Chains A and B, each alone.
Chain A
Amino acid sequence: MGDFADYARKDFDKKKNVVASADKNDQKDVQFNVEDAKSFSAPEVAVPDTVVNTEVTAPVVSTGDTAVALGRGLDVGTANLVSSFQDASGNVNLKIQRNAFIDIDCDDYTRNMLTRLGVQYVVVNGRMVVVGDPAFELANIFNRNTRRPMKEGMISPDEADALPIEKMLLETLLEQPKTPGEICYYSVPAEPIDADMNVVYHQGVFGGLLKGLGYEPKPLVEGHAVVFSELAEDDFTGIGISCGGGMFNVCVSYKSIPALSFSTSRGGDWIDRNVASVLGISSSRACGLKEKGIDITNPNGREEEAVEIYYRNLIAYTLKNIKERFESSSSMPKFPDPISIVCAGGTSMIGGFTEVFKQEFEKINFPMDVKEIRLAEDPLYSVSKGCLVAALSESV
């Protein structure tokens, strides 16, 4: 597939040039599709508050026994990869893969064993690489850590095997496009404010991978995706926060147009690392502790207290950053009505998350009127669904 390499290279060049030549009036953004966003845009136009209840039918392609709508969503996350499409009856179907792997010695016995056990593998450089959830189980058996193709929201530069593995994982999640050049919106981190990372490179890599699979890739910043999936009733106005494994992604949106979006490199992994270090346990144990179903409004014992402390810290840090960025920005639209804050992502799924979020919110003088702070309907699938909404809306 020379096509793939070419695309990635061109895409990379193009973005590098866009970025390098961007002058102050040139409102081009490499992180989400501004042309598309602009077409929604006209803040001065009053939008009547009518609720649209006509079912919109997206263009449908019939392939044999199943008919699905054109357009795909893909959440490219540090911890999870989630693809989505809309089936004939209007349901959203998702496929989920843990974005992790582990490599083991390659032989016929292992090969057969893994297939029989229903464990997925890929052979890379003569080693068998087990991907997805079973990688965690095997890591425990072998007392090793899983390897992660991504780190803090981006493709990991330290992981040489990351690319072939991500490609494989995407193939299992997306299959072939229904028509050549089917649109696939994929999530990318917004500009990180506390780390020096190359979003352009990351975006180019996944754009290239998707192009290689036959899709027309379109990036969407993760917080914006949360807005698309959770804030329809507010006319896509409000704050969407994706609380992920590698980072938090924030998007302040006005009528579907992002007014402010950024990311921080603290997320679930950050909590795991810190809890692990204060308790003197491994990060994966800390993660298990965190996910086992505790309530951070009512922590039980030293271990759960450690989790609560870092959750509070992370939420306060996020709120403080929204406030600072909002206040320092000169181009904030006026929000005439109180807004909603919606949290999505795996890290928001801990017991008591919204309560603690509200408590921390009360502690700072937040610059916007907020009417509601709530969790997304499907926190783990919210970003993918938002990408799907964007893709369906453009697939005519």
Chain B
Amino acid sequence: MIIRVRLHGRGGQAMKTAGRVVGTAAFLEGFRAQDSPMYGPERRGAPVASFLRISDEEIAERGYVWSPDIIAIADPTLIGDPRANVLDGARQSTAAFVNIPTLDGIRVGDLTRLTNYDVTRAAIRLLGRAVLSSGVAGAVVKLLPISRQSLEEAVKIEMEDIGLKEREIDLNVKLALECFEGTPRVPVEPLPTEELQQFRAVELGWQPPEVSIGLIRNVGNGVEKMTGSWRVSRPVIDYSKCTRCGVCFDYCPEAAITLAGPDNRPVIDYDHCKGCLICYNECPVKGAITVEEEGLAEKVASGGVV
């Protein structure tokens, strides 16, 4: 039996460490274990994933988990983000953990075995920051045949490895155990190896140079990437106070502000604004730009969670 786990988060949410904690916990429990991160060249805020296999037999697999038995979602806005591929290879019986206060109104594809805990709130309460690794690891361990003791030990090992001080390590252990206790268990049903993705070979054949020389004719198509989902804070312009000075436009690194109309009204492109808040910080008029926490409800409304 091999259990395959895929953890989804955003760059900066420490999913690699979460995977390592679970991997070490499985190892301490006496299982065979394999964990690995996957990241492209993208940055903080961009979707990332890490993978984990635990087994009582030989693990004849590597790398990307194409057919997960468990999906852990550290950031619920990833569910609707097409680039996150959260549902890749998932089947109805795949168990999914979502870092969210409640599952009311939440759908993860047509998955039925959903469970949750508000790891972010627990992390902020205990660590003062939304560092999710130990918490997500605790929740995932709950779904696996791994004991509380192994989890505790694994958190200590991995947190020490990344250079945390004793006090921080203790707080991470607390966080992991809280999430472990707080996450309702759902059944996990590993897929037999024979039923993993089918392989059917295809022939592509020679293609003309206009097609095959590796160029992008559609320059500027990067605009199709909705980096608005990276945002944790949202700058909002109060047009009654804004003097149309244009400073926010000048300093937006992302070109996410345009000056519109005859009066050069700054308009924020929320599909792409990453929420760096430079505009807010540089705006010379007090109150012309305010900051709102990016509520989950709003992201659900804007198609973040399906």
Do these two chains interact? no
Q: Which residues of B contact A (CB under 8 A)?
A: none
Q: Which residues of A contact B (CB under 8 A)?
A: none
